[in-house]
Chain A
Amino acid sequence: MRHILGISAYYHDSAAALLVDGRIAAAAQEERFSRKKNDERFPRHAVAFCLRHAGLQESDLDAVVFYDKPIIKFARLLESYLAVAPGGWLTFPRVVPPWLGEKLNLRGTLRYEMPGLRPETPVLFTEHHQSHAASAFFPSPFEQAAILTVDGVGEWATTTIGVGRANEVEILKELKFPHSLGLLYSAFTAYCGFRINSGEYKLMGLAPYGEPRFVDTIYEHLIAVKDDGSLRLNLDYFEFLRSLRMTNARFDRLFGGPPRPPETPVEQRHMDVARSIQTVTEQAMLRLARHARAVTGQTNLCLAGGVALNCVANGLILREKIFDRIWIQPAAGDAGGALGAALAVWHMRRESPQPRTPMLPDAMQGAFLGPEFSDAEIEAVLRQHNAVYEKLDRESLLDRVVGLLADEKIVGWVQGRMEFGPRALGHRSILGDPRSPRMQSVLNLKVKFRESFRPFAPAVLRERAPEFFELDADSPYMLLVAPVHPSQRLDVAAGAHGLDRLKQLRSRVPAVTHVDFSARVQTVTAEQNPSFHAVLSRFEAKTGCPVLVNTSFNVRGEPVVCTPDDAYRCFVNTEMDALAIGSFLLDRNAQPNQGVKQKFHPVPD
């Protein structure tokens, strides 16, 4: 079995991943091609890309693996409706019909979507959390490790603790629906006016502006957390079993009012709620990690599942030194399930001809598993748009880009293969000078068109990271939050509250220092990320600063750009100053004013 295609779809963040002889050949989320954020539809573009990249056709596939088991999920759905009947009658007619159509007979659906599959090619299914666990362990650099997966819900499991050894992943313990840390966090995300399955980052970013004054309320009324990290939700306060709402009026009364309508001003109360649920989540994750250590006896930890994208909690697990080393799947959410499903079949069905040998630094190839475009392809697109551009050699391009960055200009940076997972890691990024006091508000309001409170992440040369951040581990996928090093901090006047704290200068790299002196760090090495390392090194040589602001190349509601066309359309519709794409450099002011429209389906977040 040489060619295995993993698929996640029909819930959120559909994706495809292709293994060729056990090596990850390609992986991508459908949203990047369809231009619909968190697209849940069958990932036909992502599948087509994966096959094209490997020079294959559907008929060359030896197995297709779906990332969860529809029969078990369907049974859970029916049992849940039965448990709350007659509640749930409003959602039942909306939720169940798709199951009787495409979702339950998924084998038929997948064959319909991929008509070129050979009849004898098996369509297989792995359990949802098994997929997450496989995506966390098999690409990791560890011979063996504890595995912790935490998300909203799969079939029944919402949290699992397992162990990975050689070619096996074994789930040892699991917490079952409806008791779920992920659903709890999502309920608060919705309550604070953000979209479930995408707004969780915002809640995490909002938390440092608030006070944890509702923590006791949450423990007293909403959840019971045991020492092992398992929790029970008090369903009297939640509606997700019965309606399309996550919470009810009783929940609202606990937190001083109704849910915040989307796009309305964020009040101090919402910040306090965000801080409180973030605190509770961190405490639960710490307990889960400690229990995982005790149950497995392992010294390394692999993390996946949507909650593993909570990089504040991840950073805390690291700093508490519960494990010697931590590795987090960069596509920790459901998109990564496609990869995990394929890896589970390769390793656990003994398709691999030899025992697994961990790769260093890991097997994800920097998460650069998406499409890339040649200079000829890029130039053709630029010509179509009548764009004004210069073609430069590598050294000149680096010099010019770094010169612009040092002058506080904002530069779009599109190079090499697109990232797999939610983070832009220096191949589809917007870059800026972190020393600039105005950078955060300019980027938020004029380039990304998003809320002013949202922080930006630093990318830093790995070897100089300890000077700027209290982090003594690699963080290549921007999934660990660490405090800014005290030597970089500035004194801040006390007394400011809420969003007023945003205006205070608090470090020598203010654009990437959150109000609690934390930063979501990406460490960059030449080995894993050579093109981005070259920019950082050149910027360091020019300014002495080895740090850059790195944010994803998109605007609010848009998936991260994929193609040169996406990049150009996004570039000319923002106040970005320059675009470096392949060997080409574009000055925004020189572009013809011809009303190039962006091509994406805006999704409120």
Chain B
Amino acid sequence: MWQLFREFLQFLRQEKKWWLIPLVLMLLVLAALIVFSGGSVLAPLMYPFM
């Protein structure tokens, strides 16, 4: 996972696409919410907002 993180940062630096960071962070937070909520109750409610 750390290798993926490093490669992602490397990609952002190379391509100068730092603006992707907030988008990815938001996705990670949503993913975490879905995972920690068990993936059944919250997910359908949140889909329309994604």
Residue numbers of A with Cβ under 8 A of B are: 71-72, 75, 78-79, 82, 89, 92-93, 96-97, 100, 104-105, 107-108
The contact size tier of chain B is 10 to 19
Which A residue's beta carbon lies closest to that of B48? A89
Among B15, B20, B27, B48, point to the contact of A100 (Cβ < 8 A).
B27
How many angstroms from the CA of A441 to the CA of B29 in the assembled complex? Answer: 58
Among B7, B15, B27, point to the contact of A96 (Cβ < 8 A).
B27
Query: A75 touching B4 by the CB < 8 A rule?
Result: no
Query: A78 touching B20 by the CB < 8 A rule?
Result: yes
Contacting residues, chain B, for A75 (C-beta < 8 A): 11, 15, 17, 20
Contacting residues, chain A, for B24 (C-beta < 8 A): 78
Secondary structure of the B contact surface, majority rule? helix
Contacting residues, chain A, for B7 (C-beta < 8 A): 71
Contacting residues, chain B, for A93 (C-beta < 8 A): 47, 50
Query: B27 touching A107 by the CB < 8 A rule?
Result: no
Among B17, B23, B50, point to the contact of A89 (Cβ < 8 A).
B50
Q: State whether the Cβ of B1 lies closer than 8 Å to any Cβ in chain A.
A: yes
Query: B23 touching A82 by the CB < 8 A rule?
Result: yes
Q: State whether the Cβ of B31 lies closer than 8 Å to any Cβ in chain A.
A: yes
Contacting residues, chain B, for A82 (C-beta < 8 A): 23
Within 8 A of A (CB), among B1-50: 1, 3-4, 7-8, 11, 15, 17, 20, 23-24, 27-28, 31, 34, 47-48, 50
Contacting residues, chain B, for A78 (C-beta < 8 A): 20, 23-24
Contacting residues, chain B, for A107 (C-beta < 8 A): 3-4
For this complex, 11 residue pairs linking A to B, each with C-beta atoms less than 8 Å apart, are A71-B4, A71-B7, A71-B8, A75-B15, A75-B20, A78-B20, A78-B24, A82-B23, A89-B48, A97-B31, A100-B28
How many angstroms from the CA of A105 to the CA of B7 in the assembled complex? Answer: 11
How many angstroms from the CA of A108 to the CA of B31 in the assembled complex? Answer: 18
Which B residue's beta carbon lies closest to that of A96? B27
Which B residue's beta carbon lies closest to that of A97? B31
Query: A105 touching B31 by the CB < 8 A rule?
Result: no
Which B residue's beta carbon lies closest to that of A93? B47
Q: Shortest beta-carbon distance, B30 to chain A, in Å?
A: 9
Contacting residues, chain A, for B48 (C-beta < 8 A): 89
Contacting residues, chain B, for A72 (C-beta < 8 A): 11
How many angstroms from the CA of A104 to the CA of B7 in the assembled complex? Answer: 11
How many angstroms from the CA of A78 to the CA of B8 in the assembled complex? Answer: 14
Contacting residues, chain B, for A105 (C-beta < 8 A): 1, 4
Among A79, A92, A104, point to the contact of B50 (Cβ < 8 A).
A92
Contacting residues, chain B, for A89 (C-beta < 8 A): 48, 50
6 further A-B contacts with Cβ under 8 Å, apart from A89-B50, A93-B50, A97-B31, are: A75-B11, A79-B20, A100-B31, A105-B4, A107-B3, A107-B4
How many angstroms from the CA of A79 to the CA of B27 in the assembled complex? Answer: 13
How many angstroms from the CA of A239 to the CA of B27 in the assembled complex? Answer: 24
Which 9 residue pairs of A and B lie closest in terms of their CB atoms, listed nearest first?
A: A93-B47, A100-B31, A71-B11, A93-B50, A105-B4, A92-B50, A78-B23, A71-B8, A71-B7
Contacting residues, chain B, for A108 (C-beta < 8 A): 1, 4
How many angstroms from the CA of A93 to the CA of B17 in the assembled complex? Answer: 23
How many angstroms from the CA of A31 to the CA of B17 in the assembled complex? Answer: 37
Q: Shortest beta-carbon distance, A89 to chain B, in Å?
A: 7
How many angstroms from the CA of A93 to the CA of B31 in the assembled complex? Answer: 11
Which B residue's beta carbon lies closest to that of A81? B23
Contacting residues, chain A, for B17 (C-beta < 8 A): 75
How many angstroms from the CA of A292 to the CA of B24 in the assembled complex? Answer: 38
Which B residue's beta carbon lies closest to that of A106? B4
Contacting residues, chain B, for A92 (C-beta < 8 A): 50
How many angstroms from the CA of A93 to the CA of B45 in the assembled complex? Answer: 11
How many angstroms from the CA of A108 to the CA of B17 in the assembled complex? Answer: 24
Contacting residues, chain A, for B20 (C-beta < 8 A): 75, 78-79
Q: Shortest beta-carbon distance, A74 to chain B, in Å?
A: 9
How many angstroms from the CA of A107 to the CA of B28 in the assembled complex? Answer: 19
Contacting residues, chain A, for B50 (C-beta < 8 A): 89, 92-93, 96
Q: Shortest beta-carbon distance, B17 to chain A, in Å?
A: 6
How many angstroms from the CA of A79 to the CA of B1 in the assembled complex? Answer: 23
Contacting residues, chain A, for B47 (C-beta < 8 A): 93
Which A residue's beta carbon lies closest to that of B12? A75
Q: Shortest beta-carbon distance, B50 to chain A, in Å?
A: 5
Which B residue's beta carbon lies closest to that of A108? B1
Which B residue's beta carbon lies closest to that of A94? B47
Which A residue's beta carbon lies closest to that of B34? A97
Contacting residues, chain A, for B4 (C-beta < 8 A): 71, 104-105, 107-108
Q: Shortest beta-carbon distance, B7 to chain A, in Å?
A: 6
Contacting residues, chain A, for B1 (C-beta < 8 A): 105, 108
Which A residue's beta carbon lies closest to that of B7? A71
Which B residue's beta carbon lies closest to that of A88? B50
Among A75, A78, A107, the one with the most B-chain Cβ atoms within 10 Å of its Cβ is: A75
Which A residue's beta carbon lies closest to that of B46? A93
How many angstroms from the CA of A105 to the CA of B2 in the assembled complex? Answer: 10
Which B residue's beta carbon lies closest to that of A105? B4
How many angstroms from the CA of A71 to the CA of B11 in the assembled complex? Answer: 8
How many angstroms from the CA of A97 to the CA of B44 in the assembled complex? Answer: 13
How many angstroms from the CA of A78 to the CA of B11 in the assembled complex? Answer: 14
Which A residue's beta carbon lies closest to that of B3? A107
How many angstroms from the CA of A63 to the CA of B50 in the assembled complex? Answer: 38
Q: Shortest beta-carbon distance, A91 to chain B, in Å?
A: 10
